[in-house]
Structure 1
Amino acid sequence: MDPKAAYDELTRRSREWSTLASCAALLSWDELTVMPTAASAFRGDQLGLLAGLEHERATDPKVGELLATVEGSDLVADPESPEAADVRELRRSFDRKTKLPRALVEELARVTSAAQHEWVAARKGRDFPRFLPWLDRIVALKRREAECVGAPGGDPYDALLDDYEPGASASRLSGLFDALKAELVPLVGQIASSETRPDPGVLRGNYPIDRQKMLGELVAASIGFDFDRGRLDTSAHPFCSGIAPGDCRITTRYRPDDFEESFFGVLHEVGHGLYEQGLDPDRFGTPMGESVSLGIHESQSRLWENLVGRGRAFWTHWFPIVRRLFREPLGAAEFDAFHRAVNRVEPSLIRTQADEVTYNLHIIIRFELERALLSGDLPPADLPGAWDESYRRDLGVVAPDVADGCLQDVHWSAGLFGYFPTYTLGNLYAAQLFDRASEELGDLDASIRQGDTTPLLRWLRDHVHRHARRHTPAALIRRATGSDPDHRPLIRSLKARYGPVYGLSGAEVPS
């Protein structure tokens, strides 16, 4: 077979198993939004079967033969060509998946599907012992996975992290996170000791859910989310699922007495959705039609949620609109008071509700704990105590029970070990990308004040979205911003935004 025919066959197969994965994604969306609870056991069987079928096709020895035919040919001579990127990433995926037994893949799918429902019940009942047997099983399964795909004698965490952030390592992340933490902790201390305290009362009151939904869709559409190719729904835990070309689904959750949770949740998930909708639909099912990493994905959501959505320029346009929609709580509200309220800092228990300054401390705690769980240094039964101690040490707060403690996140019940660090990487990447976009686009705030975010979205499409998996995450950031992943732009951004809010000396005044 000639290389071109081999490449065409590779991409045909890749699209086939990606279609199976899209079926699983649709079932997972259904499971988390509208599925009856009594269907959970059979849903695990469905997802397990699909995971097994996808794994079987992706590890067919014929795939290895096709890859060998194309590798080294003129078709992939240019390392940045779509063909070269596809072949490189398909080889990486093939080598990883062929190390995993199908039985382990199916067992992980079944166990995590059931465990997510047990997690919901355990959290609702504040009952860690109910969830502990499932956590034990999942940790054991993830260790087996790491043994299968990791380097002999290597850090098991690296093997799992590579699935979400290719090329990253626990040691490099530890150095980056330590440098970030060394600057965050004193910044949080400065803010805590400030006599200035923004009043969040303006964000509490009567915010009818039907109007929150209307506003969410209006803002989502205004910044570029295409509702002909996507939808917004409600779930217990907000998420984005890029199911297939023309089918990107985002969710949020609502509280009738709270403005922030839904609004910023929508901005966050829309950021993910814009990335999914910015990928080339003609390349669906191949690496050049897929996002490069979760860290890059998270950079898009955090950029829109925080760097755009908490800025003065954004609210210069949107505050009058929001005040008209919610006359009862906001009719007499002043712009500066409202803006300070959405930029307040309060060490808290819940990651998803954390402010922009303390959020990364939540992630660093999880990164440290899950590394300890995988290495065996932390027995799963000791997780609640270790969690409380970490929160007391780094954030000065302790959860009243496990619902707001170690059971607050769905990730471990879903088997997503290695996922959490990508949230902080996303924050770091977002600050770097926004800095560079602002430099290249000139007065970016001027267009945002007019409600026009098209220049920014166009820049992101050109520098991030269209590249798909052509480059590694670190290389993509380096090419887009001119520097390696770095914590300093984020720290500068935080000081520029929160310094004026809290009257910190030496702070820059944001436009």
Structure 2
Amino acid sequence: MHASPQAYEELITRLKKTALLSSCSAVLEWDEQTYLPPAGAEHRANQLALMAGIIHEQTTNPEIRNLLQELEENSNFAEDSLEQANIREARHEYDRATKLPRRLVEELSRVATLSHHAWVDARKANQFHDFLPWLKQMIDLKREEAAAIGYEGGQAYDALLDGYEPGTTSEMIEQAFVPLRNELVALVSEIKDSGITPDISILTRKYPIEKQREFSITAAEKIGFDFNAGRLDIAAHPFCSGFGPGDCRLTTRYDEHHFPGAFFGTLHEAGHGIYEQGLNQEDFGTPVGSFTSLGIHESQSRMWENLVGRSRAFWNHFYQPAQTQFPEALSNVKQEEFYRAINDVRPSFIRVEADEVTYNLHIMLRFELEKSLISGDLDPAALEAVWNEKFFEYFGIIPDTPANGCLQDVHWSAGLIGYFPTYALGNMYAAHFYNAAEKELGDLNSLITKGEFTPLKEWLNQNIHKRGKLFRANQLVKVVTGESLSHEPLIDQLQNKYSELYNL
């Protein structure tokens, strides 16, 4: 006996309907972080909580269980087919969702909205204790979520991590992070001992904000982000929201006296946006029309930001336009001086502005702390002190303010616990993908120097974006590159680049 074709069609119809509701909620969330008046926060929290409850009700409809059961027991779809991938991932999402009571889903949404606004205010005021009550509330809710979902072994954190990187556990993350950390610490030490110190004051000259915006948009458009199907706005913490076909929103933040923040932040978010715009639009709302995992998503943003955007080849193409755009800051600066400044390696406070060598250490710090928050080993009230202590262990410096320390990231206020490891995974995935693209396309530096970004973008579209969730992340790496995930390609790229810059 075979499942009826109608069963699969009905499943897809229901998934797409729920995705449309989720995209409506995402628009409200984007507006909350960009244009919502401060006094509207509580009303928006109630709106989003209601939407979360409705979406949860749709997601957990018993009819979906019946359809999945019929398809799993009786369908004759090939194991590696698009249809089978949709069924597999729909089951994963259904099983997670049905373990969560609607009350908890709505409360998580409501608290996340209010917590976000409390975080924005606390960050501006540089007062961790102003945010602490919300952090405690969010940690309690996330522990409740982890308990409801369930987990094997002793790591409640794994239940949360699985929501961002399906099939991945904290043990697997640690196995990848330990050799990566060892190699990074050694490389940072070599760079420190090199005696070479680029002049980074170049980057803190006056860069008019409107000129930054124009230049960032030009670069994002050049690498392949379609502004006919997207836009760029300002937010307290940069992010990308893909609402669906034809509508992808980027945000950034500007500092007139810090060029890299907005520029590389925009390239980063444009990388996310190119992924969203590269998904199969006709499959919107289904797993194969969605991104593989957040780690794979981060591989795209980190690739465009660092492997492309901080490369010598990129600035062979873009430096003269940069001098034209910012004559006051760059007219007397040689390209090599600028290139070395944007690739300066030294411990710094802000993750999103960190160099690509020390960046992963920022992630490992957060991974360690949020695991401890969820396990109960770390009391939220002690977070600021422990953050500063651990930061000194990792970087040898102590944050001068909470805004430069434990209040710098939006993630914990939004309940995005388990998200941070995907950034470092993304760096590792990116190195694998970039190597594979170069094997197929030839010398990417030559193409980039000429401003030819389309070959790389189209290669990513075909090999990663359009595959959606056909494969899980580790399997996708294997299919695309023929290799299993390893820290070695990333370390090789970093050592090659920085050995030349610092005469190692």
Pick the TM interval, shorter chain: over 0.9
- Partner residue in 2 for 1:311: 311
**C-alpha distance in 2, partners of 1:480/1:293?**
15
Equivalence map 1:73-472=2 (5 Å) = 73-76=74-77, 78-151=78-151, 153-472=153-472
SS in 2 for 1:249: strand
Cα distance, 1:170 vs structure 2? 0.2
**CA displacement 1:250-289 (0-9 Å, x = unmatched):** 0111112222111111110010000000001111111011
Please say if residues 120 and 236 of structure 2, whose CA atoms lie closer than 8 Å, have aligned partners that are also in contact.
Answer: no
- Mapped partners of 1:227, 1:280: distance in 2: 18
Residues 1:498 and 1:152: Cα distance change in structure 2 (over 3 Å): closer
> Distance between the aligned counterparts of 2:337 and 2:498, measured in 1?
14
Moved more, 311-320 or 203-212: 203-212
Cα distance in structure 1, aligned partners of 2:372 and 2:443 = 46
Deviation of the 1:154 alpha carbon:
4.2
CA contact (8 A) 1:4 1:70 kept: no
Amino acid at match of 2:437: A
Q: Partners of 2:75 and 2:409 in 1: how far apart?
A: 47
Distance 1:331 1:24 in 2: 46
For residues 417 and 459 of structure 1, what CA distance do their matches in structure 2 show?
A: 32
Shift of 1:2: 4.9
Q: How far did 1:152 drift? A: 5.4
Contact 2:212 2:263 in 1 (8 A): yes
CA contact (8 A) 1:317 1:451 kept: yes
Q: Give the secondary-structure state (helix, strand or coil) at the position aligned to 1:89.
A: helix
Question: CA shift at 1:53, angstroms?
Answer: 0.2
Is contact 2:351-2:362 (8 Å) kept?
yes
Could you tell me how far apart the structure 1 residues matched to 2:465 and 2:244 are?
A: 16
In the alignment, the residues of structure 2 paired with residue 479 and residue 434 of structure 1 have an alpha-carbon distance, to the nearest angstrom, of 14
Between stretches 455-464 and 203-212, larger displacement belongs to 203-212
How many angstroms apart in 2 are the aligned matches of 1:73 and 1:2? Answer: 5
1:320-363 per-position Cα deviation (integer Å, ceiling 9, x unaligned): 11111111111121111111111111201111111111000000
Q: TM-score, normalised by structure 1?
A: 0.97
Provide Cα deviations, 1:402-456, integer angstroms capped at 9, x if missing partner. 2211111110010011000000000111111111111121122111110011111
Q: Is the 2:252–2:262 contact (alpha carbons within 8 Å) kept by the matching residues of 1?
A: yes
Q: Does the CA-based 8 Å contact 1:4-1:75 persist in structure 2?
A: no
Per-residue deviation, 1:75 = 4.3
In 1, are the aligned partners of 2:112 and 2:138 still within 8 Å (CA)? Answer: yes
C-alpha contact (below 8 Å) 1:294/1:422 kept by paired residues: yes
Structure 1's consecutive aligned runs of 4 or more residues displaced over 4 angstroms after TM superposition are none
- How far, CA to CA, are the matches of 2:352 and 2:287 in structure 1? 30
AA in 2 matched with 1:235: A
Of stretches 398-407 and 93-102 in structure 1, the one that deviates more from structure 2 is 398-407
Match of 1:42 in 2: 43
Q: Structure 1 residues 183-192 or 150-159, which shifts more?
A: 150-159
Amino acid aligned to 1:213: R
5+ residue gaps, structure 2, are none
1:26-72 CA distance string (max 9 Å, x none): 00110111110100001000000000000001101111001111124
State the distance in 2 between where 1:487 and 1:151 align: 27
The answer on whether the counterparts of 2:268 and 2:302 sit within 8 Å (CA) in structure 1 is yes
Change (3 A) 1:470 1:459: same
Rounded to whole Å, the distance in 1 between the matches of 2:192 and 2:481 is 33
Letter of the 2:442 counterpart: G
- Mean alpha-carbon deviation: is it higher for 197-206 or for 490-499? 197-206
Q: In structure 1, list runs of 5 or more residues that go unmatched.
A: 505-511
Residue 509 of structure 1: aligned partner: none
Asked whether the 8 Å contact 1:239–1:250 carries over to 2, the reply is: yes
Q: Is the 8 A contact 2:41 2:114 kept in 1?
A: yes
Deviation, 1:132, is: 1.3
* Cα pair 1:278 1:465 within 8 Å, conserved: yes
Query: Which residue identity is paired with 2:103?
Result: A
Q: Is the 8 A contact 1:99 1:148 kept in 2?
A: yes
User: CA-to-partner distance for each residue in 1:77-108, whole Å, 9 max, x for gaps?
Assistant: x1221111111111111111011000000010
CA distance in 2 between counterparts of 1:207 and 1:136 reads 40
Mapped contact 1:75–1:84 kept (Cα < 8 A): no
- 1:297 deviation in Å? 0.2
1:235 and 1:252 in contact (8 A); partners too:
yes
Secondary structure in 2 aligned to 1:356?
coil
- Matches of 1:432 and 1:245 in 2, distance apart? 28
2:99 partner SS? coil
| Alpha-carbon distance in 1 for matches of 2:395, 2:120 | 26
Paired residue secondary structure (2:270): helix
- For 2:151 and 2:254, how far apart are their aligned partners in 1? 44
1:3 and 1:75 in contact (8 A); partners too: no
Deviation at 1:166, TM superposition (A): 0.6
Contact 1:253 1:261 in 2 (8 A): yes
CA distance in 2, matches of 1:495, 1:477: 22
Cα distance between partner residues in 2 of 1:296 and 1:165: 9
Conservation of the 8 A alpha-carbon contact between 2:3 and 2:74: no
- 257 and 152 in structure 1: CA distance in 2 versus 1, 3 angstrom threshold: closer
Task: Name the amino acid aligned to 1:317.
Answer: H
Distance, in Å, in 1 between the alignment partners of 2:120 and 2:416 is 16
Q: Give 1:221's aligned amino acid.
A: E
The AA in structure 2 aligned to 1:326 is F
For 1:155-176, what per-residue CA distance to the aligned partner results, in whole angstroms no more than 9, with x for missing partners? 1111000000011110011111
Q: How far apart in 2 are the matches of 1:228 and 1:57? A: 32
Q: Which moved more, 1:197-206 or 1:35-44?
A: 197-206
Tell me the distance in 2 between the aligned counterparts of 1:465 and 1:68.
29
Contact 1:209 1:255 in 2 (8 A): yes
Matched residue type, 2:470:
R
Identity of aligned pairs, percent? Answer: 50
CA distance in 1, matches of 2:76, 2:12: 14
Please say if residues 234 and 251 of structure 1, whose CA atoms lie closer than 8 Å, have aligned partners that are also in contact. yes
Q: Identify the residue that residue 72 of structure 2 maps to in structure 1.
A: 71
Distance 1:483 1:140 in 2: 40
1:508 equivalent in structure 2? none
Q: How far apart are 1:202 and its partner, in Å?
A: 2.1
Query: CA RMSD for the aligned pairs?
Result: 1.2
